[in-house]
Chains A and B, each alone.
Chain A
């Protein structure tokens, strides 16, 4: 039997999210939030964790000798351990807290990349990457004279493994690929990709921004060298994200930012780096946010990530079916059943902004634009699209409302 949520489970989950109560009266219409791929809503336990830290435990970490600071330090380090457990890292020392996925990838590009990438080296990305997994590598490639190859996608939005294989015959140093496309909902076979890349001698970074929040994730099973994700897309606060890196690699890398807490000792001439992960956490970190991310993980664990994954898949299948009722709709990406809870589409001859505005009048929040994936939109042959994305608090009824809203847009714009 497939583990999933029942309708009554979702009713209870929704009660944990204050925003669904607070905004119920906007325009007299309930908030229908279908933009979790941009950022998720936050449950009370996360909001309370922030409040509780500042009301009861606030002090800087790794500095004070007094009790409060020691308590804050323990909580902050515990949050690293919770993350390590959640993605099955070998040790919390492999968990670096950063601001978000973007910063995690930039850290790798700046620190690992500058040390390991040279002239003529090849970096393999894919056509479905988010700008945050493109631009840092473009900066690095420009500086070092390296070459970027984009693994093609097929017309269903799936990665062409045969093309990847071809690219891997070149002088490849790095493969950086997303676990799930934030536009197409395509789920990439990251374990297989990692193993192929390793055989070719390349290091592997997985952009897990749309991965960890939506499915059970085991970095040791995937085998990747780096894994990056954001807290705010998985019920946590903004301003906290994670870089997982294998210990050997992180030890071998120079620091990203220099400053306080990342050193063991400093003289006027030189500094000795601190132990992992603190070597990469210069300056006062996002302490409260890190702790609250730990609370988000506790919450997700209590729900069960297998259920999260299956439930979102059910929503996607239902939505793909219902959306076909809308006239002249073009849906991008793989067929229902082979995708995560992200669906991008266009209504023929209606600009996505107009679609989003009509839906907004129904208090339905979707994303309209290029979703930080302009090259992918070029590949699809459109400038922009509309995107609905689902999470644990969304319901079948909300998808019906989306479909009705789209029918309304169709009517208005003809």
Chain B
């Protein structure tokens, strides 16, 4: 798997994160961490007419956690909130596009965990992330 890790895509999102920053008066704002490795992520959404009008993230951590967050913001930008709720593990992992071991899957899915908790108050259990 590992040569793939440097896939240009991941490194590009890591080094040039999309939608990085904060929104003034967001409708949704949620922060969470991966306690084991210290990845941190804040995701904010401004909702207008039931759509994610503006999306921003901020965080620090490994390339996979931050790149997956960057990708996720692109994925949901402008989308209907109901559609956003349908985004699951598969969509994130497909976007990341790497074969990840169990510990790094958690890095990739931190963005989804924050989205789910923030967007509709759903806390995912760890076993959910296998």
Contact = CB atoms under 8 A, between A and B. Distances in A.
Interface of A: 27, 351-354, 357-358, 360-361, 368-370, 383-384, 412-414
Contacts of A354: 5, 62-64
A368 B39 CA distance: 13
Contacts, number: 42
Contact of B104 (A353, A361, A412): A353
A369 B36 contact: yes
A401 B103 CA distance: 24
Interface in B1-40: 2-3, 5-6, 11, 15, 36-39
B6 A351 contact: no
Given A351-B63, A414-B15, A357 B104 contact: yes
Given A383-B38, A384-B38, A353 B5 contact: no
Contact of B37 (A358, A360, A369, A412): A369
Contact of A384 (B37, B63, B104): B37
Size range of the interface on B? 10 to 19
Contacts of A360: 2
Nearest to B2: A361
Nearest to A351: B62
B80 to A, nearest CB: 34
Nearest to B5: A357
A397 to B, nearest CB: 21
A373 to B, nearest CB: 13
Given A413-B63, A414-B15, A353 B37 contact: yes
Nearest to A363: B2
A255 B91 CA distance: 53
19 contacts: A351-B63, A352-B37, A353-B37, A353-B62, A353-B103, A353-B107, A354-B5, A354-B62, A357-B104, A358-B6, A360-B2, A361-B2, A361-B3, A361-B5, A369-B36, A383-B37, A384-B37, A412-B6, A414-B15
Contacts of A357: 2, 5, 104
Given A383-B37, A384-B37, A384-B38, A353 B2 contact: no
Nearest to B98: A357
B36 to A, nearest CB: 6
Nearest to A377: B38
Nearest to B103: A353
Nearest to B14: A413
Nearest to B38: A383
B78 interface: no
Contacts of B37: 351-353, 368-369, 383-384
B102 to A, nearest CB: 13
Contacts of A383: 37-38
A324 B72 CA distance: 38
Contacts of B39: 351
B5 to A, nearest CB: 5
Contacts of B64: 353-354
A413 B66 CA distance: 13
Nearest to A361: B2
Contacts of B61: 351
A351 B15 CA distance: 13
Nearest to B35: A374
Given A353-B103, A413-B63, 6 more contacts: A351-B37, A351-B39, A357-B2, A357-B5, A358-B5, A360-B2
A412 B3 contact: no
Contacts of B5: 354, 357-358, 361
Interface string B26-68: 0000000000111100000000000000000000011110000
Given A351-B63, A353-B37, A354-B62, A412 B11 contact: yes
A349 to B, nearest CB: 10
A352 B61 CA distance: 9
A369 B39 CA distance: 11
A383 B39 CA distance: 9
Nearest to B100: A357
A222 B64 CA distance: 47
B58 to A, nearest CB: 16
A361 B64 CA distance: 16
Contacts of B104: 353, 357
| Shortest 5 CB-CB contacts between residues of A and residues of B | A383-B38, A361-B2, A351-B62, A353-B62, A384-B38
Contacts of B103: 353
Contacts of A370: 36, 38
A369, A383, A384: which has the most chain B beta carbons within 10 Å? A383
A27, A353, A370: which has the most chain B beta carbons within 10 Å? A353
